[in-house]
A and B are shown apart, each in its own frame.
Chain A
Amino acid sequence: MKNKMRGSMQTFVRILRFVAKEKWLLFLSLLFTAGTAALTLYFPVLTGRAVDTLAGGNIDIGRLYDILIAMAQVVLANTVLQWAVSLLNNRVTYRTLSALRRAMFDKLWRLPLSYIERHQAGELLSVAMADAEAVSEGLLLGLSQLFQGVLMILGTLIFMIALNVKVAVFVILITPLSLFTAAFIAGRTHAMFLDQAQARAKQTGFMEEIISNQKVAAAYCREAELIREFQTLNDRLRKCSCKATFFSSLTNPTTRFVNSMVYAGVCVFGAFSVLRGGLSVGELSAFLSYATQYTKPFNEISSVITELQNSIACADRIFRLLDEAEETNGSKQLGDIDGSLRLEHLYFSYLPEKPLIEDLNLQVAAGKRIAIVGPTGCGKTTLINLLMRFYDPQQGKLYISGVDAETVSRESIRSNFGMVLQETWLKNASIRDNLLLAKEDATEAELIEAAKKSRAYGFIRHLPDKLDTIISEDALSAGQRQLLCIARIMLALPPMLILDEATSSIDTRMEMQIQTAFSYMMQGRTSFIVAHRLSTIRNADWILFMQDGKIVEQGTHEMLLAKKGRYSEMYLSQTALMQE
C-alpha cells in the first residue's frame, strides 16, 4: 500500500512537470483562486452584519444600504475573478493535454517496432486518447479544485476563529471525520478503477480485431460465438464499472452526512452562545453559512480525490508508455554509399527461447542483385527487417558501405533503401499523397511517369478523381495497392532496393511488364529480392538459399545447380511441375 502511494506520488510529480511549462498561467490562476476564496468568505460576514441591522425591529436603513452596496461590489469582483480562473485553468489543461498527446506521438516514432507490433493498436490508441483525456479532466481540473478547496477550508477556519473561538474549535474537532471517510472510500476505489480500465482495454482490443476483420468472421458464421465472447468481456466490464461507480459515489452521501452533523453542531453551539450573549444572531447566520461553506470544499476534495485515483491510473499507463525503452539511434549520417554490404556473425530471434537467425555471414558487392530463396518461415522477411533496421540483431554487425550500421542514424540507412513488401499499407489519403511519401517534391509529370512505369496508371486513370482519389479502407484490390507501392519506389529511386514478394498479388502479364521497369531500376543498385518466380531468381547475380534462419547454400544459379543441393532440388521440382 505504501509503495502504491509512493508510485502515485511519483506519477503525480511527473504530471506536474508536464504542467510546469505553463507555470505563469498556473501561478496567476492560483493567485486569482486565492482572491475568490477571500471574497467568497467575506460575503457571509457582510450578510451577517446586514441581518444584525434587522435585530429587534429597529432598522438602520442607512447602514443596511451601505452594507448592501459593499456586498454588491464583492460579488462583482468575485465573478470577474472566478471567470478568469476558469479561463486560465482551461488554457493550462488543454495545453498540457495537447502536449501529452504530442509526447506520445513522438514516442511512437522512437519506440522499437517490436514493441508496437507486440501490442494491439487499440490498446495503444486508448492510452493516447482516452487516458490522456482522463488525466486532463481528473488531474488538472481536480488540482485547481483541490487548491481552492484547501484555501476555502483554511480561510473559513480563520474567519470562524475570528468570530467565535469555541464554535470554531468544535468545528475543527468534528471535521477529521469527513476527511477520514473520504480518504477511506478513495483508497478502496483505486483498485476498482484500475480493474475497470483493464477490462475496458481488453474489450477494445477484442473489438478492434473483430471489426477490422468482419469478413472472416462472417465467412465462418462466428456471430454467435463472438457475441458470446463479447458478452463475457462486456459483463466483466459492466461488473467492474458498476462497482467502481457505486463505491466511488458513496463519498458524496457519507461526507454530506458528516457535514450535516457539523451543521447541527454549529446550530446548537451557536444558539447557546447567542443565549449567553457571546454571539449575535447575524453572526450565527454567518457561522451557519460557513458551516456549509466549510464542508463543501471537503465534499469537493473527496470527489476530486476519487477522480484523481482514476486519472493517476491513466497517467500511470501514459508514463509507462513514455518510459518504454527507445531504439538506440546512431548520431552520424550515412553519407554517399557505394551499395556494398556485409553481415558478420549476425544472431537474431523474436523470442529469446526460439533462436531464428544464427551466425549469419554475408558479403554483398555494390550493385549486385541478390535473390533470397527458401521455404516459408526460413527467415527471409526477418533478414529484411534487420537490413532496414526495423529490428536490431542481438549479436553481430551490419556494415553498409563499410560503415557499422549501429553508428549511423536509422533514418539515413532507410533513406538508402527502397522497399516493396508483401503487405501493402497505404495512407488514408489521396493517391497523390501516397506517392508523395516517397518524394515530397515530385512534379506532376514525375508522378504520372512513375505510375505508368509501375502500371498503376491503368486503374488510376479510371478513378473518378484520378490521382486525387482518396483511398479508403478496402477500396482498392490487393494488386492495385501493390502497384501503388511499386510506383512509390519508382519515384524514390534509392541506391538500394528490397523487394519482398513485391508482385505477389499482381497478375503475371502485368508483372512481366513491371519486371522490365524493375530490371532497369535495379541496374547499378544493390537489390535484395525475395521471390518465388524462377525467372526472377535465375537472373540474380547471387542466390541465397535460406533454411531455419541460416544460409545453407549460396552462389550463382549455375553454381547451385551444379552443387545438386537443396536449391537444385527445389528448382528441378518446380520446372518439373511446369512441364507436367
Chain B
Amino acid sequence: MKRLLKYLKEYKKDCFIGSTFKLIEVIFELIVPLVVAKIIDTGIGNADSAYIWRMAGVLVLLGLGGMLFSITAQYFSANAATGFAAKIRMQIFQKVEKLTFSNLDRVGASTILTRITSDVNQLQSGVNLALRLLLRSPFIVFGAMAMAFTVDVRSALVFTVVIPILFAVVFSLMIAGIYLYKKVQARLDVVTNAFRENLKGIRVLRAFRKEESEKNLFEKDNAVFERWQMISGRIMSAMNPLTLLIVNLGIIMLLKTGAVSVGNGVISQGDVIALINYMSQILVELLKFANLIITLSKSFAGASRIADFLELENGSAKTFSEIHGKETEDYIRFDHVTFSYRSADADVLSDLCFSIERGQRIGIIGGTGSGKTTLVSLLCGFYAPTEGTIYYKGKDLSVYSKEARMQDMTIVMQKSVLFSGTIESNLRWGKEDATREEMIAALKDAQAEFALEKGLDAPVEQEGRNFSGGQRQRLSIARALIKDADILILDDSASALDYLTEARLNRSIEKARAGKTTITISQRVSSILHCDQILVLEDGRIEGAGTHGQLLKNCPVYQEIYYAQFPKNGGESHEK
C-alpha cells in the first residue's frame, strides 16, 4: 500500500478534509453521553424542565452539525478514492504500454486485467472506507476511554482492560484475514482463467465435445475456491461475536465497580449510565472497525499486487527519440545476432549476419519454427538480441526509442487483428490524418475492395471478429500500406488468401512501395520469387542468401522448398 501512496498525493487536500471533518463529527458524538448524564442528574435531579429542553436542543444541534460535517467528509473521500483509483488504472495501462514484450509475455494478459479491474475496485472501496473510518474508530475508542476517566477513574480502569483485549482480538483476526484473502484470491484467479479459456476456445472444445470434462474441471476448481472461501469466512466471522462478548462483559464489570463507587458517593446514577453509553459506543465503533479491516486487508493484498506490477522493470531505456544515423552505411545490418526468449531456453536464432540495403525487396523463407517471425520481431525492436548487434542506419538499433523505430517501420503480423471501431478508425491507426482518397487507394492496393462495398464506416467488432481471416489480413495490410513507412514487414500476412488474390496483392504492393524496403516472410516461393535478396532460414540459422536464381543453383534447402512447390515436371503435371 505504501508503494501506491504517492498516487494519492494529488488528493492530499481531499484526504485531509475528509478525515478531519470525520473527526469533528466524532467529537460531537462523544459529547452526547455527557449531555444525557446532565439531563438525568441535573434535569431530573432538580426537576428543572427548562434545563431538560435546553439540553435536548444541544443534542439536536450536535446531530445536525455531525451530519453536515459527515456529508462534507463523504464527498471529499469519495472524490479522493475514485480519483486515486482512476489514477492507478491509468498507471497500469501506461505500464502495459511501456513494458517490453518479454515482460508482458511473462505476466500475461489475464493477470493484468485482474489487476486493473477487481484489484483496483477493492483498492477504491478500501481508500474510501479508510478515509472515513480509519481515524474515526480509534479516536472514538480512545476518546470514549478518556471521557470515562473524567467521569470516574476507578470505573474507567475497566476500559483499560477491555480495550487492549479487543484490539488483540481484532488484530490477530485481521492478520489471519489478510493471509486467507490471498489464498482465496489465488483460487479465484484459477476459476477466472478456466472460464476465460472456455470462452476463447469454445469452437475447438465444442468440436471435441469436451462439455463433460471441461465442466468437471471447472467444477473441481470451483469447489476448491468455494472451500477456501468457506475456511476464510469461518475464521473471519468470529470477529463480531467475540467483540460483542468482550464489550458486554465489560458492561457487567462496569456495573459491578460502578456500584461500589455509587455506594461510596463518588459518582451518580447518571454517571453510571454515561459510562455504559461509552462502552456501547466502543462496541459499535469496533464492529465498524472490524468490517473496515476486512475490506482493508483485501485492498492491501490487491495494492501489493498492483505495486508489484507497476514496479516491474520496463526493460532498457531507449534514449534517442529520433533516428540520426546516416542512410548511406549499414541501412540494416545484423551482426552476429543470437536470441532466445528466456535465458534458459535454447537459442531461437543463432549467429545471424546479413545486411539489407535501402529500397531492396527482401524475402525470408524457411521451415516452421525456423525463426522467421523472431527475426523480424528483433528488427522491430520488440525483443533485444541476447548477443550481437542490429545496426540501423549505421547505429545500434537499441539506442532508439520505440517511437523512433516504429516511425520508420511497419509490420503486418501473422495473426491479423483489427480493433473495435470502424474500418476507417482502423486505417487511421496507420495514418492519423489520412484522407478518404488515401484510404481508398490503400484498400485497393491491399485487394480489400470488399471494404469499400461495406463502406469506410462499417463497424469492426472486437479483434475484427466480424471479418473472415482473409478479410482481416487484407485490412491489416491496408492499414500498414497507408502508413507508407520506409520499411514494411509482411510476416506471412497473406496466408489466408488464395493464389490469385495474393498474386494481385504482390503486384500492387510492389508498385506502391517502389524505392522503399519491403521484407516479405512467406511459405510460398511464388510470393518471394522476385525479391532482390532472399534469406533462407533453417533452425535459426541462415542457410542461404541471394536471388532466386543464385539460391536455386547453390542452396540445397531452397531447392528442396522450391521443388516441393513446383515439381520439376510441374508445368505438365496438372495435365495428367
Contacts and interface: CB of A to CB of B under 8 A. Distances in A.
B233 A249 contact: no
Contacts of B79: 242, 246
Nearest to B117: A204
A423 B44 CA distance: 86
B276 interface: yes
Given A106-B215, A483-B368, A75 B249 contact: yes
Interface stretch (A16-24, A80-88, A153-161): A80-88
Interface string A62-80: 0010001001100110111
B329 interface: no
Interface in B152-204: 188, 191-193, 195-204
Contact of B237 (A83, A246, A417, A510): A83
B441 interface: no
Contacts of A562: none
A68 B256 contact: yes
B471 interface: yes
B324 to A, nearest CB: 18
Interface string B485-506: 0000000100111111101000
Nearest to A289: B280
22 contacts: A51-B255, A51-B272, A61-B259, A64-B256, A68-B256, A78-B244, A82-B240, A82-B241, A86-B240, A101-B191, A116-B202, A122-B113, A204-B117, A221-B406, A230-B90, A241-B82, A263-B63, A264-B59, A275-B47, A375-B498, A426-B201, A535-B573
Given A234-B90, A285-B273, A221 B44 contact: no
Given A86-B241, A108-B202, A423 B564 contact: no
A446 to B, nearest CB: 16
Contact of B415 (A116, A210, A217, A478): A478
Is chain B's interface secondary structure helix, strand, loop, or mixed overall? helix
A326 interface: no
A86 B173 CA distance: 15
B245 A574 contact: no
B387 interface: no
Contact of A512 (B53, B113, B564): B564
A575 B574 CA distance: 9
Contacts of B276: 47, 51, 285, 289
Interface residues of A, number: 174
B233 A118 contact: no
A344 interface: no
Given A249-B74, A253-B74, A510-B368, 18 more contacts: A86-B241, A87-B233, A90-B233, A94-B229, A109-B214, A129-B195, A130-B121, A205-B462, A208-B113, A218-B101, A242-B83, A275-B47, A376-B498, A377-B468, A388-B207, A425-B201, A425-B203, A538-B574
A272 B462 contact: no
Given A205-B462, A219-B380, A375-B500, A116 B199 contact: yes
Contact of B198 (A94, A105, A264, A288): A105
Contact of B368 (A418, A507, A577): A507
Contacts of A553: none
B259 A129 contact: no
A9 interface: no
Contact of A477 (B113, B369, B526): B369
A253 B71 contact: yes
A578 B382 contact: no
Interface string B237-255: 1101110110011011001
Interface stretch (B35-43, B303-311, B331-339, B391-399): B35-43
A315 to B, nearest CB: 18
Nearest to B432: A225
A314 interface: no
A223 B52 CA distance: 68
B97 interface: yes
Interface string A556-575: 00000000000000110111
Nearest to B60: A264
A511 to B, nearest CB: 8
B388 interface: no
Contact of B248 (A43, A95, A218): A43
A267 interface: yes
A577 B406 contact: no
Contacts of B529: 580
Given A219-B406, A250-B71, A532 B498 contact: yes
Nearest to B94: A227
A284 B197 contact: no
A54 B248 contact: no
Contacts of B234: 87, 90
Contacts of B10: none
A37 to B, nearest CB: 13
Is chain A's interface secondary structure helix, strand, loop, or mixed overall? helix
A95 B230 CA distance: 9
Contacts of B410: 219-220
Given A130-B117, A238-B86, A268-B56, A281 B199 contact: no
Contact of B564 (A61, A264, A509): A509
A238 B83 contact: yes
Nearest to A492: B208
Contacts of B526: 577-578
Contacts of B36: 267, 288
Contacts of B241: 78-80, 82-83, 86
Enumerate the 4 nearest inter-chain pairs by beta-carbon distance, A residue then B residue, closest first.
A260-B63, A479-B368, A376-B470, A86-B237
B320 interface: no
Given A68-B252, A275-B44, A507 B367 contact: yes
Nearest to A374: B498
A410 B203 CA distance: 13
Contacts of A91: 230
A222 B222 CA distance: 39
Given A207-B116, A217-B97, A507-B368, A422 B469 contact: yes
